[in-house]
Structure 1
C-alpha cells in the first residue's frame, strides 16, 4: 500500500510538472509575467506531491524523484511542441481576433524543461550513488 501511494504521488506530481510546460510555450495578450507566474505556481503545486511521494517510497528517494522529473521533462517537451504546433496552425489562428493572437515563445518552456531534466538527472545520480552498497574490503583482498 505504501508503494502504491508513493507511485500515485509521483504520478500526480509528474503530471503537474509535465503540464507546466504547456502554458510556458504561449504568451497571451503580451503579458510575460503571467507566463512565469503560471510556471512557478505549477511547480509549487507539484512540490508537495513529490515530497510526500519521496517520504513514502521504500527505495531511494532522490533517485525516484529524479526519474519522475526526467520523465516529466520528456513528456513536457512533447506537450510543449504540440501546443506550439497547434498555435502556429493558420486555422487555429483564425479563432483569435487580431490583437488577441497568442505569441508562441518556447524560451521559458525549453529553459524550464532543460532545468527540470538536468535537476532530475543530478538527483538520480546522487540517489544512485548513495544507494549503492560500499565495496567489501574482504572481496578486494581475495581478488588480489
Structure 2
C-alpha cells in the first residue's frame, strides 16, 4: 500500500482572516498523466481536512515511484496554488518527514517557500513543527 497523500489539516486565511467556504482542490498524479482530483471546502473558521489517499502499489526494483501532489484554492473568484510537491517515497507523512502541527496557508503570501529535505516542494503554508511518525 502506497500513501499517495498523507492526511492534512489546517487553516486557510486571506489577509489574516479565515477564508470561509474556500474550495480546496487536490490533484494527485502517480500512474498516468490524468491523475485524480478531489474537492474539499473550508469551514466557517477557514479550517479544512484532507484525508489520507492510498493505493495498492507493487514495488519494482527497476522503477522508482514518483507521486505529484498539487493543492489549489478557489476563493473570492480567484485561484491560488498553495501546495506543489513531488515525492518518491510511499510512507505516511513522507512528504515532509513528519506530521505538521498548526498548519496555516495564507493566500496573500507573495512567494512559495521551498522545502527540499524530503521532497521537492513549494507551498504558501507554514507550520510550527513536524512530529515524527514511524514508517509503515
Q: TM-score range by the shorter chain?
A: under 0.3
- Give the TM-score taking structure 2 as reference length: 0.27
State the TM-score, normalizing by the size of structure 1. Answer: 0.26
Which has more strand, going by share of residues? 2
